[in-house]
Structure 1
Amino acid sequence: MKIGILMTGHPPDTLLEDGLYDTYFERLLDGHGFGFEGWPVCDGIFPDTVEAADGWLITGSKHGAYEDHDWIPPLEDFIRAAHAARRPMIGVCFGHQIIAQAMGGRVEKFAGGWAIGRTEYNIAGQTMAVNAWHQDQVVMKPDSAEVFASNAFCENAGLVYGDRMWTIQPHPEYGSDFIDGLIRTRGKALVPPALLEDACQRLDQPTDRMAVADMMAAFFKKERA
């Protein structure tokens, strides 16, 4: 099964030695038998058609889904086209948000502030820890979506749209090393110091990122009519 990865941003320059965001998901989903191809849609480079891959994954980004970028409207069109063509799609962080927006939901810069580092969620009835890095949230889910992950800070942390789309707000592709890198680079200019320090204190605590990866792989592989 070929997974097309739509990159909606790039890592900070100081963290590029580990690759672009498609590489992070290739490592996360390694061992599940997938092939991969990446398209940097944030640079205006899109697949020719939704049939270019068997399933699609939209990455995180430093950008907001509600911002005025030339590549956002065609990305929303692509999301709706993939949904209509019954091509399974997964969205992570920005990917989670842009899918919700394309499908009729609303994304905002959350008044409650940031979620940074290891964060616990109720995911499908289980308490699971995943690394987070966001202020924007889906504040109104689309009518077609059901919530499968949430916590007190982020009500719509995971959304599923039947058997066509599965999206999650935190970052299973981020290990503690990348969160540490973000704290040292982008975080200093954006996030209150107390939140960064608290996240630093949790860097060595385990997460359930690989269990979430298994959920993602199972969604791509599930039987569909």
Structure 2
Amino acid sequence: MIIGILATGITPDELIDQHGSYAEMLMRLFDHAQHQFDYELFDVRDGIFPQDAVQCDGWIITGSKFNVDDNYDWIIKLKQLIVEIDAVGNPIVGICFGHQIIAEAFGGRAKAFEGGWGVGLHRYNIVGAPRFIADASESFTISAMHRYQVTEKPENASVFATSDFCEYAGLIYGNNILTLQAHPEFNLQYEEALVNMRKGITIPEDTADAALATLYQDGAATDSVAVAHWLADFLTRKPV
């Protein structure tokens, strides 16, 4: 199976040598979870897009430093591509910016959240019984790094993950689109380095300190491998 990664952002220069790009983090996570895919990478920020919606069997849209309301040409074109992929029924996974731009493509809205930044480890409650979650999980914990979030859910989306901080943390669109606000591809070391790098600059110091506390507490861990299984099962349409 060929997964097309639509790269909307990249790791900061100071961290990329050690941790790799967002696309590489996703590939590494799937490998760690023992899901073997072939990948094609499209840096859509530079106008590098697939020829059409069926060039790959499934798609992942990464996180980004950009905001979905920036309205650059590549953002407008990406929204159009999302609609085209949905029309042919191929699966899409959206992470952070990907989560937000998919919502915007279908008439929802994402904007800077009045509650401020979501950073550190966040726990999300699972709503209902999503078909792609084969285990008995009722919640999951992964790293968050966002100021924007979906504030108006599209009519064609249903919620599968939520928290007090992020109402629309996980959305499903029919049988072929799944999106997450937080980052299953981030490990604790990367999240710590990123929070420390942005502390007092883009992230208020008290918010950063609270986030770092979640990373330093005893037993701090993510459920990223479990989430990787869910995403892979969704992308491959594995029956559960």
Question: TM-score of the superposition, structure 2-length normalised?
Answer: 0.90
Percent of residue pairs identical = 43
Q: Take 2:40 and 2:200, find their aligned partners in 1: how far apart are those partners?
A: 33
Match of 2:37 among 20, 30, 34: 34
Does 2:162 match 1:159?
no
Q: Check whether the contact 1:12–1:185 (CA below 8 A) recurs between aligned residues.
A: no
For 1:135, the equivalent position in structure 2 comes to: 147
RMSD over aligned CA atoms reads: 1.3
Structure 2 stretches of 5 or more lacking a match? 129-137
Distance 1:223 1:119, change over 3 A: closer
Q: Check whether the contact 1:12–1:186 (CA below 8 A) recurs between aligned residues.
A: no
Question: CA offsets, 1:97-127, max 9 Å, x none?
Answer: 0000001101111111111010111024612
Deviation larger for 41-50 or 212-221: 41-50
What code does the residue aligned with 1:28 have?
L
Distance 1:42 1:191, change over 3 A: same
Q: Take 1:65 and 1:90, find their aligned partners in 2: how far apart are those partners?
A: 16
Q: Take 1:104 and 1:34, find their aligned partners in 2: how far apart are those partners?
A: 31
- Deviation, 1:198, is 1.5
Structure 1 stretches of 5 or more lacking a match? none
For 2:81, the equivalent position in structure 1 comes to: 78
Secondary structure of the corresponding residue to residue 73 of structure 2: coil
Distance 1:111 1:164, change over 3 A: same
Secondary structure of the corresponding residue to residue 68 of structure 2: coil
Question: TM-score of the superposition, structure 1-length normalised?
Answer: 0.96
- 1:114-153 correspondence to structure 2 within 5 Å: 114-124=117-127, 126-153=138-165
Query: Segments of 4+ in structure 1 off by > 6 A?
Result: none
Q: Take 1:45 and 1:187, find their aligned partners in 2: how far apart are those partners?
A: 33
Distance 1:188 1:35, change over 3 A: farther
Q: Take 2:196 and 2:161, find their aligned partners in 1: how far apart are those partners?
A: 29
Q: Check whether the contact 1:40–1:46 (CA below 8 A) recurs between aligned residues.
A: yes
- Deviation, 1:223, is 5.4
Distance 1:187 1:53, change over 3 A: farther
- 1:75-224 correspondence to structure 2 within 5 Å: 75-124=78-127, 126-204=138-216, 205-222=220-237
Q: Take 2:150 and 2:171, find their aligned partners in 1: how far apart are those partners?
A: 10
Q: Take 1:219 and 1:8, find their aligned partners in 2: how far apart are those partners?
A: 21
- 1:52-67 correspondence to structure 2 within 5 Å: 52-67=55-70
What code does the residue aligned with 2:91 have?
P
Aligned residues: 224
